[in-house]
Structure 1
Amino acid sequence: MNEEEPRSGEAREESPGWEAIDTALNRLYPGIEPFHYGTMIPYRLGGPDPLDGVSVYKRQDPVPHWHYVTYGFTELHEKESENTQYSGFGFELTLRLAVEGEEEPPVWAINFLQNLARYVFSSGNPFLPGHHMDANGPIESDRETAITAIAFVEDPELGLIESPFGECRFVQVVGITQDELDLIKVWNTRSFLELVKARLPLYLTDLRRESLLGDSELRAAAELGVRTEGSSTGHLYFESLLWEEHRNLLKGNSYVLQLGAKQAESLARIVTGRLMHDRPLTLIGPDTEVMLLPDLQNRVAEMEEGLHLYLNADAAAELSRRLVPIESEFRLETMKQLTIRIVKTLMRDSEGNIVETIG
């Protein structure tokens, strides 16, 4: 993306969706000219960047930060979709990044927002408040930082607007640490962000900070929330999810469920947060699904889309207790027809090189 001059009034009139975003920002930043970064070649004409542009405002309150706002997830120039309620994907992303003494907004954050846009445009999956995502490394790739994941919340100042093409919600990206992500998975994004909002003014992303869970009082409050509310994570994605059926005419069929070590520990807590609160949990792999369902009796059912595991409280508790991120294989004592196999997870960089082995 290249920095460009602000769009002219004539161009704005030709882009009603863009003008709607500008109007919302002008209310928040009256008379302030932002830094603006636009694409040389529009995405619809074969350019590499899905977003038409990103505007960035420098703020001093409540702490100095850069406020990034995207243009392009919504319909900017004309109505293209048949959905009259939402403009495009129905949202634009924002990011509030702590200032570290620089005079211009860090460009890596714009590239990061473009990468998030590539995911949305290729998958068709929008980001909504309450979502979370593992970046599998520092969100600024060339920097040592504990911020390796993101959560999503409604921008606390911009919220929801109406454009001529439908609704647009401003969804803010919030940088979080790995252990904070693990907690969110076993609890929920909204409750965690509500708990820590005094520590993250306007849900600021600060690459210099350490985990907020180092505060014992805050961690205790979070653990209480996990126990009382359970987990809102209904789906987990596994790169190495497999299951096998072993037939035995005398003893009945048995099954082997294979999981990657990276997800084993968080899965252990999510099983408790879901099944112990009478909620199912779906594990999704490249070629199959496995659904864990609370029930009074333990049993296994093969379905067209994959496997259904019905677990009573004792089986769920044993599974939770024995899932550890170490390569191993064990049969459940409470459900002897089910064996769990945990395999190593190989973490790779953007070039495909193995950078870490878990398990």
Structure 2
Amino acid sequence: MDGAPGVGVALDAVYGQTEPDFRWVTEHRWQDGGPDPLDEVLVYTRTEPVPHWHYVAVGLTSTAVGPPDARHVLDDPEDGRGWTFELTARLARADGPEHEHPPVFMVNLLQNLTRYVVESFTPFGPGHTMDLYGPIQQDSVTPVGQVLFMEDPELGRGPRGDTRDAGADAIDFLQVVGLTADEAAAKKTWTDTGFAALYEQYHPLLVTRLDRDSILTDPRALAAVEAGRAADGSSLGGLVVEQLTVTRAGRLARLRRRAPLTVTLGASVVDTLRVALPLRIGAGDDFSLESEHARVTFSPEAHGDPHEHEPGHWVIGLTLRQAEAVATQLLPRAGSYRSAELPAVDFLVERTTVRDHDDTPLRTIG
């Protein structure tokens, strides 16, 4: 088996000497100049607690690509070691002879997510979400079109007791969980673990099912989300975005009654900002937006004027009332917005063009 030694240790702890039922192997490996970063994808046929396929991707831990701080904490940049984690997925398995083989689309999804990691140098972590901007299985009618990354309930996170070294071979296994749009939005307004525990009540082991409605169609689930976020707040402390700039108005602009500060952001992040900002500020927590060249931190400060904390990092202090006013005022539509409760800041919303990994435009938001 390829990958770091910890992959085999973790699989042995769950499956013993049982071999995977299916295996996809990459013929032209990434390290040899091939297009696919995964070395292989292993699939185990499961019947308990519900019938499903357990996909285990192998390759990130042997793909030495990216800056050292995004790879293994004990790596030497020159030693050829890979990343700290591997991806997994669980897909509900139907009965019948036509369902004897695991669907290939999940293998392709794992390959594409891995490619995103190694090409962007951006690792996933527990609680991260991603909008796929379409059904998780192309050409299907499933409402599942977003993914959540959580610890694999069985393979989990390293180290694992006395059976493995706590250092170089410690590997995290992140499970890709398919969500509907409203489920993904609900997760962002609550804590990662709180939402995952609720989801698992409906889908044991965080299994992805395509032929289903949102769990939030059950009033009990909706009530649990509302009660949970009221008690726990939101664990979403910020967003990494592509569109974000901050400009300070000159003297002439201020005389023309422009706000001292203009924050320009993409329409695609507005809905999340509107929900998360009041929750975070109300709980006494910061919320940040960060791009390659700028960072804006909204901080729970009464009477705090916007200021540049350090080059490129702006801090905007606001009360819960101001946060709620901004959330009410902003819309995911191109235009300029200013709340009377926060006159020191103009928000300029620009259209967002969603592109695939080949940079082909898919849709425009705003």
TM-score normalised according to structure 1 size: 0.85
Change (3 A) 1:56 1:292: same
Larger proportion of strand: 1
Secondary structure at the aligned position of 1:63 is classed as: coil
Change (3 A) 1:129 1:349: closer
Structure 1: gaps (5+ residues) = 1-11
The aligned counterpart of 2:211 is 208
The aligned counterpart of 1:6 is none
Separation in 1 of the partners of 2:141 and 2:224? 29
Letter in 2 for 1:114: Q
Change (3 A) 1:37 1:260: same
Equivalent residue for 2:100, pick from 98, 103, 115: 103
Q: CA deviation at 1:36?
A: 1.0
Change (3 A) 1:16 1:247: closer
Q: CA deviation at 1:127?
A: 2.5
Tell me whether 1:219 sits opposite 2:213 in the alignment: no
Contact 2:31 2:63 in 1 (8 A): no
The aligned counterpart of 1:50 is 37
The aligned counterpart of 2:326 is 319
Residues 193-204 of structure 1: matches in 2 within 5 Å? 193-204=196-207
Provide the identity percentage: 35
Moved more, 231-240 or 339-348: 339-348
Equivalent residue for 2:277, pick from 271, 275, 280: 271
Contact 1:174 1:204 in 2 (8 A): yes
The aligned counterpart of 2:268 is 262
The aligned counterpart of 1:29 is 15
Deviations 1:327-346 (A, max 9, x none): 33232212222222223334
Moved more, 270-279 or 303-312: 303-312
Deviations 1:139-198 (A, max 9, x none): 223323211111122211222343694212222111111111112222222110111211
Structure 2: gaps (5+ residues) = 65-70
Moved more, 336-345 or 251-260: 251-260
Letter in 2 for 1:29: Y
Secondary structure at the aligned position of 2:89 is classed as: strand
Residues 40-189 of structure 1: matches in 2 within 5 Å? 40-75=27-62, 83=74, 88-100=82-94, 101-159=98-156, 160=158, 161=160, 162=164, 165-189=168-192
Tell me whether 1:344 sits opposite 2:351 in the alignment: yes
Contact 1:289 1:307 in 2 (8 A): yes
Separation in 2 of the partners of 1:84 and 1:246? 45
Secondary structure at the aligned position of 1:167 is classed as: coil
Separation in 2 of the partners of 1:288 and 1:258? 10
Contact 2:278 2:320 in 1 (8 A): no
TM-score normalised according to structure 2 size: 0.83
Deviations 1:277-323 (A, max 9, x none): 11111112353222211111131113412422111233222112222
Letter in 1 for 2:32: L
Contact 2:268 2:332 in 1 (8 A): yes
Report runs of 4+ in structure 1 exceeding 6 Å deviation: none
Separation in 2 of the partners of 1:351 and 1:331? 36
Change (3 A) 1:146 1:350: farther
Change (3 A) 1:218 1:127: same
Contact 1:327 1:343 in 2 (8 A): yes
Secondary structure at the aligned position of 1:319 is classed as: helix
Contact 2:298 2:315 in 1 (8 A): yes
Contact 1:39 1:49 in 2 (8 A): yes
Change (3 A) 1:291 1:76: closer
Deviations 1:192-220 (A, max 9, x none): 01112110111001112221111122112
